[in-house]
Amino acid sequence: MTYKPPRRPQFFYTTAPLPCPYVAGRIERKVVTEITSPDAETLHDRLSRAGFRRSHNIAYAPVCPGCNACVPIRIPAATFQPDRTQRRVLRANASVDGFEVPARATPEQFQLFQRYQRARHGDGDMATMSLYDYRAMVEDTPIETFVVEFRDAHDRLLGACLTDRLGDGLSAVYSFFAPELKRQSLGTFAILWLIARTRELGLPYVYLGYWVAESRKMAYKASFRPSEVLVSGTWRMLTDADLEPGVPETRTVPLVPASSA
Give the residue among 34, 3, 249 at the shortest CA–CA distance from 141: 34
CB 222 within 8 A of CB 209: no
Look at residue 124 in the predicted model and tell me its pLDDT: 72
Mean pLDDT of 43-52: 97
Domain ranges of the chain: 13-76+205-243, 84-200
State the architecture of 84-200 in CATH terms. Answer: 3-Layer(aba) Sandwich (3.40)
Whether residue 41 is predicted with pLDDT greater than 90 in this model: the reply is yes
The pTM for the full model equals 0.90
Q: Is the pLDDT of residue 89 over 60?
A: yes
Is the per-residue pLDDT at 179 higher than 70?
yes
pLDDT band at 243 (very low <50, low <70, confident <90, very high): confident
Mean pLDDT of the chain: 91
Per-residue confidence band for 246, with pLDDT thresholds at 50, 70 and 90: low
Task: Say if residue 255's pLDDT is above 90.
Answer: no
Pairing of strands 97-102, 58-62: unpaired
The 10s digit of each residue's pLDDT in 153-174 is 999 999 999 999 999 999 999 9
Exposure string (b/e) for 58-89, b if CB count within 10 Å is 16 or more? Answer: bbbbbbbeebbbbbbbbbbbeebebeeebeeb
